[in-house]
Amino acid sequence: MNISASIKRLFQHDDVGASIGGLKNRYDEDSHEVGAYTTEKRGANRYKRYQQLALIDPYVSTSLLKFGLTIGRGYETYVEGEEKTNQAKDEIDKWAAEVNLDMAVSAIGRLLARDGTVVLYLPRKGNTITALQPLPMQYTTLLPKGVSPKATGVNTLKGDVEMAVLNENTAKPTTFSRDEFALFRLNHEGTVMTDISGRPTLGIYGVSLLEAVDRTIKHRQDIIEGYTKAIRRYGIGRLHIDHKALEPLVAEGRLEEVNKILTAVKAEMAEIEQNEDLVGVGFDVKPITTGQSIDIVGIKESLERDIAVGLLQDETTTGKASGSTFASSYVAQTDRILVLQSIQRQIRRVLEREVIGRQLELWGMDTIVKLQFDDLVQHEINIRDALELNLNTKISDRELRGIAGLPPEMKE
């Protein structure tokens, strides 16, 4: 399989439409204009648009990064029922360091939140998986049993995924059998979605967290860009320029001449840079004022609050602690942690079954090695209680040293 050749072609082809089946958005026509940026239109390749939205808005990119880092904050491997380490666990630990499993877990969490689906390619050399490579979803399709690449005129695709295809709509697509990749999905059960080849699917693809806040991200970027443009051009507000020198011409009915002059002056005014003075004769300049001011900051913060909720972030974790009580923040964080733990558990099960389990099978080992992620909640425990737990063999010496703030191993 020539995976490198397929990777080289990733950015040379545009794939056709993909949108959530049944939903219409009357703003679709202008949705490709997001603030100062031109993005993929809604209804086109959704995964390309997700990537663009994550790149242009720091509020989104930071939330996704923190989502991934929280999911993959740390882990330990263990063999159920074994108090001591064994060969399988030692080999998996060594292999995990070589393929950088901890970084892969964080990447899976971030991409799962952004795209809703992660196809993790598992290239092999002999009987060893040599890397954990997420495939770009904007060029990847998933096919159930009985459906061939480039199939058209098919009914709704549904059932267990049997194949992943990279660049399906090109002359030389690359196919991956089910044992060559691990599949992570978020809320895919019962989800109707159109894939990037325009085929309806049921329960094949997961749902991105960005789908619900797509329009909100656009509103935020539009407000920032619009307000910045206004300040750059007009300072504190728009201007009314009254050309009093033209009043005699208006009184004489020479409106065509007046219109030509105003058109020429308008073109000249458009060239004025920010903070540049107006110089001229025969006109009066006044700022345009309204009866009430628009609370730009309030609107912006409201949109940011919606984005934070949609991306499973709490306001206190995004730098908005003002006005929040400890009790309300604690409740919000607890609820957020419960959701993250559920997603983390789903990721762990796929990793154990389709990555670690597959590697052990390739080595011919029948031992089951499991993952234990670090607790997302920091529990406070004093050293006296920790020592008692250690004496009663409830925690290990390594865990005790960690609670005490000491290195895992005692130096000689």
pLDDT, position 19? 40
Q: The whole model's pTM is what?
A: 0.73
**H helix or E strand, kind and range, residue 97:** helix 87-98
Percent residues over pLDDT 70 in the chain: 78
**Both structure tokens of 197:** 């080849």
Structure-token match 């052990």, residue found:
360
pLDDT, position 353? 95
Count the domains in the chain: 3
**Please, what is the Cα angle at 213 between 330 and 205, to 5 degrees?**
105
Residue 111 three-state SS: helix
pLDDT, position 114? 95
Q: Is residue 157 part of a domain?
A: no
Give per-residue pLDDT as tens, 280-313.
777 777 766 655 566 778 888 888 888 888 888 8
Residues 27 and 120 in one domain: yes
- Note down the domain range covering 112: 14-137+180-197+207-233+296-376
pLDDT, position 21? 43
Asked if 119 contacts 142 with a C-beta cutoff of 8 angstroms, the reply is yes
* Largest distance between two CA atoms of the chain: 104
Q: Taking Cα atoms as reference points, which of 68, 119, 77 lies closest to residue 97?
A: 77
Q: Is residue 8 part of a domain?
A: no
Q: Is residue 147 part of a domain?
A: no
Q: Taking Cα atoms as reference points, which of 346, 374, 354, 398 lies closest to residue 179?
A: 354
Say if residue 14's pLDDT is above 60: no
Residues 218 and 342 in one domain: yes
Residues 25 and 76 in one domain: yes
Say if residue 177's pLDDT is above 70: yes
Residues 253 and 117 in one domain: no
How high does pLDDT run on average in the chain?
81
Task: Give the distance, in angstroms, between the CA of residue 336 and the centroid of all CA atoms in the same chain.
Answer: 17
Residues 23 and 117 in one domain: yes
pLDDT, position 84? 52
Residues 22 and 56 in one domain: yes
Asked if 218 contacts 31 with a C-beta cutoff of 8 angstroms, the reply is yes
pLDDT, position 384? 82
Say if residue 147's pLDDT is above 60: yes
Asked if 396 contacts 372 with a C-beta cutoff of 8 angstroms, the reply is no
82, 135, 306 from 208: Cα distances, Å: 39, 16, 15
Q: Is residue 168 part of a domain?
A: no
Give per-residue pLDDT as tens, 65-109.
999 999 988 888 888 766 555 888 999 999 999 999 999 999 999
Residues 252 and 353 in one domain: no
Say if residue 25's pLDDT is above 60: no
